[in-house]
Structure 1
Amino acid sequence: MVSGNAVDWFVDRHVAEGSGARVAFRDAWRALSYGELASASAAFAGALTVAGVGREQRVLLLLQDTVDFPVAFWGAMRAGAVPVPINTLLTAETVGTILADCRAAAVVISAGLVERLGGALRSAGVARVIVSQSDGLADGVDGWGGFAGFLAGGDPATPSVAAAGDEVAFWLYSSGSTGAPKGVRHVHSSLRCTAETYAAKVLGIGPDDVMFSAAKAFHAYGLGNSLTFPASVGACSVLLAERPTPDAVLDVMRTYQPTLFGGVPTLYAGLLANPMISPGAGSARLRRCISAGEALPADIGRRWKSVVGVDILDGIGSTEMLHIFISNHPDDVRYGSSGRPVPGYEARIVDEHDRPVAHGEAGELVVRGDSSADGYWNRRVRSRRTFQGEWTYTGDTYTRDAEGYFRFQGRSDEMLKVSGVWVSPFEVEEALISHPAVLEAAVIGRADSDGLVKPKAFVIRRDDVDTIGVDALVAELQAHVKGRIGVWKYPRWIEFVDSLPKTATGKIQRFRLREV
């Protein structure tokens, strides 16, 4: 087990080794070297102490992806406080719930979020609020002080507190794809674990790489991509503050020429539908793409490889495990599968009695690895269900074939029993997406007139494909699904929509579709 404050290894090590001048982060406004990151995060830590924010107290980060994010994240951890990055797209009500749950002693918020979320901070009575991206505003925003002014009150030589590898370092809140977010507690050593497993042995990141993650840093997947993986080798990370629309992402790709790109399936589909997509997605240096957040439909992976010229390494991770623990590998890509376990992790599939299932049979995916969380905050019953000894129970239904490749079937509480046979919503969605008229799809269960559950699909049509009438297209899509995966699995109802409810990380919130 690795011991020590994670800041020492991810930040200060590079300065000590003479690499302090290397660029660590770039956003649309500035670049930050490793030396500047070390000084700024130390000043943030010192300023927290001056402000009376003590060890183990939570510091909520409501931050867009700019260079202030790593300064606040590493700075809080350096001080022994616990940074808690959360989704910047949450409603004010949900932010208020999280504030009450984590009892934050301070909040760092991007200026552009104050109008929408500032009321929740005032209602929660947060003692200290620091506003990022507030340059030029003498009094910060809404009466709160600015980030630069806060840093000026801290000593840039503040040392990191001594911490054990098993000490809780930061929290993440689960994305809420199946309900209310839960506070997930992670320890210092987990960050280095994911860097030395997935980042080193699958992503293959090196010091000369430039990483761009469209997935935001408040999410476990984006946190690894943007903050810890580049810092593990002294590489550079490009940060995008705005929403990662296809146009915005392609602009970043052209401007900064990243070598590594991290996206989610929804974004890859949107990029492929963008008329500006080209080899390298705009970057002549692009050598590797990765995907997580939700399973990647095989058709999207194959089309991306054909158009962009680079494979997408799809994998599965979770907030509870911090990053990807099963993945396709650079020399071993099987589209339609999540791949095989990342070196350093073990995975198995069990039935409802915790017994291993046979190859090809569906069951719950459980995983073992050193990046597993310390548990949920104030969720004892849920913690005991999810974290059992060394094994983490994911709640995902998977199959594994005889060669050891894992295939996603759906969340365990989303599987459909149709005509006495289990049907995977993802399998139906994947079949629909393989039709040229479909951009995205989501499938849920709905009872028919006899009370029997059958698949219902919500479909977003592609704009660049001529389609026939609605009724004819429904019939064509139903026939397409029957021909690909079986006559009993086709969606009995298809509803065309303009958008699907999702978390900020791209996961479809099927529970919201069931409420429609």
Structure 2
Amino acid sequence: MNFRGIGVPYNAAKLFIDDNVDKGRGNKVAIYYKDRQIRYKELQEMVNKTGNGLKQLHVEMENRVLLLCHDSPEFIVSFYGALKIGAVPIPVNTMMHSDDYEYFLNNSRAKVLIAHIDLWNTISHLKDRFIYLQYVVLIDENGFASKDEGTLDYREWMSSDSVDLHAALTVSDDQAFWLFSSGSTGNPKGVIHLHHDMEFAVNSYAKKVLRMTEEDVTFSASKLFFAYGLGNGMYFPLGCGASTVLMPERPLPEKVFETIETYRPTIFFGVPTLYGTMIDFAERCGRNYDLSSLRICVSAGEALPGPILKKWRQLFDVDILDGIGSTEALHIFISNNIGDIKEGSSGKVVPGYEAKIVNEHGVAVSANEIGDLFIKGDSVAHGYWNLHEENKKKFYGEWFHTGDKYLMDESGYFWYCGRSDDMLKVGGIWVSPIEIENSLLKHHAVLEAAVVGVTIENNLVHPKAYIVVKQGITPSDGLKKELQEFVKQDLAAYKYPRMIEFVDELPKTATGKIQRFKLRKSLSSVPASV
């Protein structure tokens, strides 16, 4: 057979799954999940069965496969099974409104959906609107009970296929997977990552910053469908021959503490809001939780307040490494380091990446001068799916414009100064103010709405809505609660405005654009409790 023109074969599933077995780790535990222990050899067989199952559904190279899955072995198996046959898995947020999944499926043109049955049940009423979807494979850990005709039982679907599968002849620059990232317009953007991106992130951050080895056990409270969680809980441990702990439930403090004490991970990944609520929970219940297995903790998603870092260290005698990453860069590219933590800063550039801060003319600024942060590294995405203009705005050759305002001090530490646009980060998740505003405008009482981020206690951010009501409507506390519940029903619950203020008019430009920066400037005091 003549392979000229194909290039050097490279398949990420072979690297992260098969190579571990080839290196003698077949009997080592790869995944801890509830009462299950899945070893690398079993994981390989499950991946191969899934890949063969997808081929039986006529999935070919470059076809998209949407994953709507809780953190579970099935998530990982489906992800790498698709990769191994050259298909493109697309994990999506499990906390979205049902209409959002119509967008994900139609925008990606996915022909197969693999989903947990409880999540499918929330969107199955829309199935006639999924233009390209041909097959639905449902995961039901309690025994298959779908009433939807044509859906497939994941276990039965997997059981009939071979445990042998040759990796597709992909190359390192082939499309591997997409991750959806929300944009300032409120429409999610399909971020295209290549087969080599995960290996680069492992070698740069996991091995050089976290010093991860096969002896480590990781646990990420941030879910696998996030770029941050995907590394923490999946390809970092697999890329190092280590083990991962998966928790499908919401990361509530009591459940997170219980998981750490049960599985004894060595590295824990969270976000600032979670660390804050865990500290508060531990102090309120008066229990001394045993986190002695942890050698290091990691935080990302938003800037980690210094008081949280200090209190966590005081309570549990373990450091938190704060850093910044993005969906487009796949994982963290600026980070504090073990033994080199500068409280309040994002740390220094991760080995393998380059960063620069520039002014509005693209010229590098001096130390301690605020500018736009650009990042360069081989895990940066290929680009956005079908967004030509947005690609031109964000990708400048090798450089990616993060949209963050930063300064770098004389010692090379980077300090976060805010967003270049109006995007908010709530609980480590990007939230578009326009999306919340559009939801509020659907309510019969709302004439105009503007949403900004309010920094509360410990520098955490909550959405605040300024609302102009329609004539004849009387503003009241009851209406505030009604509007909050309305948004919760219309969007993912975490997006609702925690604060609402009724105003007579909104500040606007001469052309009618809302000037959110004026609203932010008007914020003089915010209650500590909202």
Query: Pairwise CA RMSD of aligned residues?
Result: 2.7
Counterpart secondary structure, 2:24: coil
- For 1:253 and 1:321, the matched residues in 2 are separated by 29
The equivalent residue for 2:113 is: 107
Residue by residue over 1:80-113, the C-alpha shift from the partner in whole angstroms, topping out at 9 and shown as x without a partner, is 1100000000111111011110000100111221
Deviation of 1:376 (Å): 0.1
The equivalent residue for 1:301 is: 309
Deviation of 1:357 (Å): 1.1
Counterpart secondary structure, 1:294: coil
Residue by residue over 1:179-234, the C-alpha shift from the partner in whole angstroms, topping out at 9 and shown as x without a partner, is 22100000000000000000001111111111000000011100000111101121
Contact 1:46–1:153 at 8 Å: present in 2 too?
Answer: no
**Amino acid in the other structure paired with 1:183:** G
**1:123 correspondence with 2:129:** yes
Deviation of 1:119 (Å): 2.5
**Amino acid in the other structure paired with 2:317:** G
Residue by residue over 1:278-330, the C-alpha shift from the partner in whole angstroms, topping out at 9 and shown as x without a partner, is 89953321111001111111111111111111111000000000000000000
- For 1:405 and 1:213, the matched residues in 2 are separated by 26
Correspondent of 2:368 among 360, 380, 388: 360
- For 2:379 and 2:288, the matched residues in 1 are separated by 32
- For 2:287 and 2:241, the matched residues in 1 are separated by 28
The equivalent residue for 1:89 is: 95
- For 1:80 and 1:388, the matched residues in 2 are separated by 28
Moved more, 241-250 or 119-128: 119-128
C-alpha change, 1:411 and 1:3, in structure 2 (3 Å) is farther
- For 1:148 and 1:443, the matched residues in 2 are separated by 42
Contact 1:279–1:307 at 8 Å: present in 2 too?
Answer: no
Correspondent of 2:176 among 169, 192, 206: 169
Deviation of 1:415 (Å): 9.9
1:147-186 aligned within 5 A: 147-175=154-182, 179-186=186-193
TM-score (norm 2): 0.79
Structure 2, unmatched stretches of 5+, are 1-6, 425-451, 468-519
1:2-401 aligned within 5 A: 4-125=10-131, 126-137=133-144, 140=146, 142-143=148-149, 144-175=151-182, 179-275=186-282, 282-401=290-409
Contact 1:278–1:308 at 8 Å: present in 2 too?
Answer: no
TM-score (norm 1): 0.81
C-alpha change, 1:299 and 1:285, in structure 2 (3 Å) is same
Contact 2:354–2:376 at 8 Å: present in 1 too?
Answer: yes
**Amino acid in the other structure paired with 1:492:** S
- For 1:213 and 1:97, the matched residues in 2 are separated by 28
C-alpha change, 1:122 and 1:62, in structure 2 (3 Å) is farther
Deviation of 1:122 (Å): 4.3
Counterpart secondary structure, 1:255: helix
Q: What is the percentage of aligned positions where both structures have the same residue?
A: 40
Contact 2:184–2:422 at 8 Å: present in 1 too?
Answer: no
Counterpart secondary structure, 2:196: helix
Counterpart secondary structure, 1:182: strand
C-alpha change, 1:446 and 1:88, in structure 2 (3 Å) is closer
**Amino acid in the other structure paired with 1:97:** Y
Contact 2:9–2:169 at 8 Å: present in 1 too?
Answer: no
Counterpart secondary structure, 2:281: coil
Residue by residue over 1:223-270, the C-alpha shift from the partner in whole angstroms, topping out at 9 and shown as x without a partner, is 000111101121110001011111111110111111100001110111
Contact 1:197–1:344 at 8 Å: present in 2 too?
Answer: yes
